[in-house]
Structure 1
């Protein structure tokens, strides 16, 4: 999922749709994904439920668009962070950024802390498509000069993403994720070898 593919979808939104999505993100952060409802979003956004349903037919559709916007931010930041990097440096940057994103994003923090099982469910749905996130990481690694075959690169990106998600959802005392130097060292020692030299 290169950043431009998501950006195109988000750039085509109206101001009303952006307002609805901003409000929905706050509602999901406040109540969690399962407890949030369209009525709360409508009330906070100052619009009717039918206005939301015309643009986002279900809560899942609404959540999917909120996640897509978060993904856009992640991949734009990743593109900037990996500019001029080689593939090994890109692995470190992607891992560090992914860990930091979850800590810095109230939405992902809420999911990881109170509804971590949803990440597994989302990974098999349109709402949190692991494959699209992995494709974005593969795109970044290729842009940074990774020379492995496409199927191998896709699997490498998938593994890197799943390791990061695993550490975020199931924290380990072997890695202090609040320590950026430790996160980078972890990536350099254990994840960079996956991409090769």
Structure 2
């Protein structure tokens, strides 16, 4: 006779946090295609039925993990530019974003390596670009940008699209991945667009 698993007394929020953390680890380790929902449930300490009640399929879980990673990344970018002027903020945000993607296993997998992730998240790419653009524009305005609102949004959207392209198709020369190179590129080409 098998033992029945004790009912979890964790709150819905705690369960969801545990699921997202376990899923982030699973997606980072094996990618979207090979990720196993049973492994996620076990690592999160929830039943399969609880996992599927919160996230009916792997794609919905992947989108939730991506949204969580986005929010944490945006908070980190915003914190990295506190006290900087708008042009310095552009450089620091670009350098911090590049460093996050190259060192965080989940972000690296999602942005650079896993085409399955891109296939799922491409359906929200336009919304993602708009959300990031709005948030970065607000951050640059707080940092002191004085340019007209429409011009600020246009410049930031261009930055976001350039960053996405740069990260999805990185340069083949290793020296072009160094923090110094990234900062110099951002200072030379991106920062002058903001005033």
TM-score by length of 2: 0.82
> How far apart are 1:158 and its partner, in Å?
1.5
- The answer (yes or no) to whether the contact 1:122–1:128 under 8 Å persists in 2 is no
| Equivalent-residue separation in structure 2 for 1:67 and 1:110 (angstroms) | 11
Partner of residue 172, structure 1: 171
Runs of 4+ in 1 over 3 A off after TM superposition: 116-121, 173-178
- The answer (yes or no) to whether the contact 1:96–1:180 under 8 Å persists in 2 is yes
Report the CA distance shift for 1:24/1:112 in structure 2 as closer, same or farther (over 3 A): same
Answering whether residue 107 of structure 2 is matched by residue 111 of structure 1, we say: no
| Equivalent-residue separation in structure 2 for 1:23 and 1:66 (angstroms) | 10
1:49-92 CA distance string (max 9 Å, x none): 21012222332322222222222222222222111111111110
> How far apart are 1:140 and its partner, in Å?
1.0
- The answer (yes or no) to whether the contact 1:92–1:188 under 8 Å persists in 2 is yes
Partner of residue 142, structure 1: 141
Report the CA distance shift for 1:148/1:125 in structure 2 as closer, same or farther (over 3 A): same
> How far apart are 1:36 and its partner, in Å?
1.8
Moved more, 120-129 or 33-42: 120-129
Report the CA distance shift for 1:160/1:176 in structure 2 as closer, same or farther (over 3 A): farther
Moved more, 95-104 or 29-38: 29-38
Report the CA distance shift for 1:46/1:127 in structure 2 as closer, same or farther (over 3 A): farther
Unaligned runs of 5+ in 1: 1-11
| Equivalent-residue separation in structure 1 for 2:12 and 2:183 (angstroms) | 36
Residue aligned with 1:151, SS:
helix
Report the CA distance shift for 1:92/1:141 in structure 2 as closer, same or farther (over 3 A): same
Answering whether residue 137 of structure 2 is matched by residue 132 of structure 1, we say: no
| Equivalent-residue separation in structure 1 for 2:153 and 2:97 (angstroms) | 17
Partner of residue 50, structure 1: 49
- The answer (yes or no) to whether the contact 2:171–2:177 under 8 Å persists in 1 is no
Residue aligned with 1:176, SS:
helix
| Equivalent-residue separation in structure 2 for 1:161 and 1:177 (angstroms) | 19
Residue aligned with 2:34, SS:
coil
| Equivalent-residue separation in structure 2 for 1:127 and 1:30 (angstroms) | 27
Q: Greater helix percent: which structure?
A: 2
Partner of residue 71, structure 1: 70
- Who wins on radius of gyration, i.e. which is larger? 2
CA-based RMSD of the aligned residues comes to: 2.5
Matches within 5 A, 1:151-190: 151-173=150-172, 176-190=175-189
Report the CA distance shift for 1:121/1:44 in structure 2 as closer, same or farther (over 3 A): closer
